[in-house]
């Protein structure tokens, strides 16, 4: 594999225009990024797409503002009118300004293909620009980040190119020029005419993997699998489904989750009961409240959780859900549906396909699966049949389909490499805690859902005796360093600093050490990977 970049702001992998990770090679650089310091921020070529607006999307927004904006307005671009309306509602609901700001939505479309030949490189694309006053821009950006429903950088790039073509009278010459651009850039691998087939293949692959991983749980049909432009969009739409079909009560967030899962449950709908430890005592507490008559909208959890890799007691949660008639939504991204089968205990399963399913760190995607065995299946099936909107862009689908063909073999190698790395960390005298499903106290609950051929996944978190050791280990590690996980290459970050810099004291209450280092293990040669880790550990011991 290519040597990882150690240059601040470079894409991970190197030279990848639509990469979903970015190099923050030192602890100091990560802190500088979180503080918004120029020496880091001005070097950022890209970033994780829900937090960092890609240059092509910025360019598209600027073009839309220039052509259609009014004085004092900023534009955010979404992939459909329905999404844009949700953004507008969110901004109006959360604004502190009075009177309520005027927020306009403008729909734009690119031309459909005019011939069979054009179908290979042209696709009718629809976008909706939300024009907000400058004062409300932050709220629109919050919606973009939390919901995961913003346009992808590839869609932004495509629409930008098409708008420039339409803007030019030399239509025929521009069409030829664009065709050459597409062919030179993507070769024959990218044929937009196969978009529908790619999406069908993805849905069948997900359903098939779930069935194969544990046939005893009953068959998942491809029509029960829904694709989204990000894992967070899948979680958001699961939450919307519950809000639109069930009496509106507060949700339960069980266990300490990834930051925007909690944001969604807090900021959309009636609110959330947060059981941050996600352990048996938390379940006792929840059961006591339910038995006293408390109603909940649904229970959301990660399996295992990120970054502490705790596995909730899904069997017991499922029993409670049957007794008290609430749905269970499980995000199994970290475990992945080859390693674990959560279907016997869940109603909706959400996943970030950006992670190990793709592996290549160059496309964002998510999936939502409604469980045919769920007590809520008829209700949820009807909801999605009426309300699901396919906003997953064509090129992204084609990339994801190609990336995920060897998902099974990659997942197995990641499992094997990860267990070896965990063994190394457990023997290191300066590491005080190793978080991994196989070695955590909650392992028994992981075993309940582990598939016959499954492993324990690729995510590991560690805590050192002293901050200086964590910093020395991280800074000297000659691996890719930045956000995201599930990549084909090992990817490391000081997780609490990166995800919770403004609330380090608060998250420590839930067991997240401020100096926690999270590692997502990749496909490197195992001996070489262990040697790289050991060299960094040796330097940390001297710190």
Which residue ranges does the chain devote to CATH 3.40.640.10?
Answer: 193-405
Q: Where does the pLDDT of residue 52 fall: very low under 50, low under 70, confident under 90, or very high at 90 and above?
A: confident
Return d(Cα 58, Cα 77) in angstroms, integer: 9
Q: What is the pLDDT of residues 340-370, one digit of tens each?
A: 999 999 999 999 999 999 999 999 999 999 9
Question: How much is the average pLDDT of 519-538?
Answer: 97
> At residue 217, does pLDDT exceed 80?
no
Q: Specify the pLDDT at position 386.
A: 97
Q: Residue 97: what pLDDT?
A: 82
**For 425-434, how does the pLDDT look when each residue is reduced to its tens digit (9 = 90+)?**
999 999 999 9
Quickly name the fold that domain 193-405 has. 3.40.640
Kindly state the percentage of the chain with pLDDT values over 90: 85
- The class that CATH gives domain 407-542 is alpha beta
Band of the pLDDT at 179, cuts 50, 70, 90?
very low
Per-residue pLDDT at 170: 42
Nearest CA to 453 out of 337, 332, 348 is that of: 337
Picking from 4-18, 170-184, 190-204, which range would have the lowest pLDDT averaged per residue? 170-184
For residue 449, pLDDT beyond 70: yes
The pLDDT mean for the chain works out to 92
Task: Give the single-character DSSP code of 344.
Answer: G
pLDDT at 102 over 70: yes
For the stretch 458-487, pLDDT in tens is: 999 999 999 999 999 999 999 999 999 999
- Digit-coded pLDDT (tens) for 123-162: 999 999 999 999 999 999 999 999 999 999 999 999 999 8
115-121: average pLDDT: 89
Portions of the chain given CATH number 3.90.1150.10 = 407-542
Nearest-angstrom CA–CA distance, 253 and 431: 30
> CA nearest 483: which of 52, 123, 89?
52
Q: Print burial letters for 356-376: b (CB count within 10 Å at least 16), e (below 16).
A: bbbbbbbbbbbbbbbbeebeb
* pTM assigned to the model: 0.94
51 pLDDT tier (thresholds 50, 70, 90):
confident
What DSSP letter does each residue of 217-276 carry, written as one string?
A: G-PPPGGGEEEESSHHHHHHHHHHHHHHHS----EEEES---HHHHHHHHHSSS-EEEET
Q: Mean of the pLDDT values across residues 257-286?
A: 96
Contacts for 1-5: CB closer than 8 Å, 24+ residues apart: 1/488, 1/489, 1/523, 1/524, 3/478, 4/478, 4/479, 4/480, 4/481, 4/489, 5/480
Comparison of pLDDT for 432 and 117, the residue scoring more: 432
Check pLDDT > 50 for residue 69.
Answer: yes
pLDDT at residue 165, as a whole number: 65
């Amino acid at each position: 594999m290519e040597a990882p970049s150690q240059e601040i702001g470079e894409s991970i992998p190197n030279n990848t225009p639509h990469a979903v990770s970015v190099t923050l090679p030192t602890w100091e650089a990560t802190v500088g990024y979180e503080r918004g310091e120029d020496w880091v921020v001005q070097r950022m070529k890209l970033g994780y797409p829900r937090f960092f607006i890609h240059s092509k999307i910025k360019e598209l927004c600027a073009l839309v503002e220039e052509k259609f904006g009014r004085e004092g307005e900023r534009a955010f671009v979404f992939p459909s009118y329905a999404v844009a309306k949700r953004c507008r509602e969110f901004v109006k609901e959360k604004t502190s300004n009075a009177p309520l700001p005027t927020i306009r939505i403008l729909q734009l479309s690119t031309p459909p293909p005019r011939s069979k030949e054009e179908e290979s490189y042209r696709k009718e694309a629809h976008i909706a620009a939300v024009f907000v006053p400058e004062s409300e821009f932050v709220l629109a950006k919050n919606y973009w980040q939390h919901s995961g429903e913003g346009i992808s950088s590839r869609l932004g790039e495509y629409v930008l190119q098409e708008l420039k073509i339409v803007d030019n009278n030399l239509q025929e010459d521009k069409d030829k020029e664009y065709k050459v651009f597409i062919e030179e850039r993507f070769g024959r691998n990218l044929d937009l005419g196969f978009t529908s087939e790619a999406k069908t293949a993805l849905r069948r692959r997900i359903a098939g993997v779930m069935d194969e991983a544990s046939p005893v749980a009953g068959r998942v049909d491809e029509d029960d699998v829904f694709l989204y432009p990000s894992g967070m969009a899948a979680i958001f739409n699961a939450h919307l489904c519950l809000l639109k079909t069930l009496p509106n009560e507060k949700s339960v967030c069980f266990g300490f989750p990834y930051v925007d899962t909690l944001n969604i449950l807090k900021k959309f709908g009636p609110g959330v009961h947060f059981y941050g430890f996600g352990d048996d005592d938390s379940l006792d507490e929840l059961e006591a409240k339910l038995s006293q008559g408390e109603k909940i909208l649904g229970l959301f959890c990660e399996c295992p959780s990120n970054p502490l890799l705790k596995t909730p007691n899904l069997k017991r949660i499922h029993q409670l859900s049957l007794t008290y008639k609430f749905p269970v939504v499980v995000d199994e991204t970290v475990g992945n549906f080859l390693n674990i089968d959560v279907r016997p205990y869940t109603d909706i399963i959400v996943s970030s396909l950006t992670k190990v399913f793709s592996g290549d760190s160059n496309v964002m995607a998510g999936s939502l699966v409604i469980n045919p065995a769920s007590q809520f299946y008829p209700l949820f099936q009807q909801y999605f049949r009426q309300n699901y909107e396919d906003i997953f862009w064509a090129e992204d689908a084609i990339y994801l389909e190609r990336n995920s063909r060897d998902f099974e073999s990659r997942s197995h190698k990641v499992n094997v490499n990860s267990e070896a790395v965990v063994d190394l960390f457990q023997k290191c005298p300066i590491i005080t805690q190793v978080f991994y499903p196989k070695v955590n106290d909650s392992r028994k609950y992981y075993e309940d859902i582990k598939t016959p051929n499954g492993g324990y996944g690729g995510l590991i978190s560690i805590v050192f005796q002293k901050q200086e050791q964590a910093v020395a280990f991280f800074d000297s590690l000659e691996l890719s360093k930045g956000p995201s996980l599930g990549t084909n290459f090992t990817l490391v970050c000081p997780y609490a600093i990166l995800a919770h810099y403004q609330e380090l004291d608060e998250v420590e209450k839930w067991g997240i050490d401020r100096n926690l280092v999270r590692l997502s293990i990749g496909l490197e040669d195992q001996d070489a990977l262990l040697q790289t880790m050991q060299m960094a550990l040796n330097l940390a011991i001297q710190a």
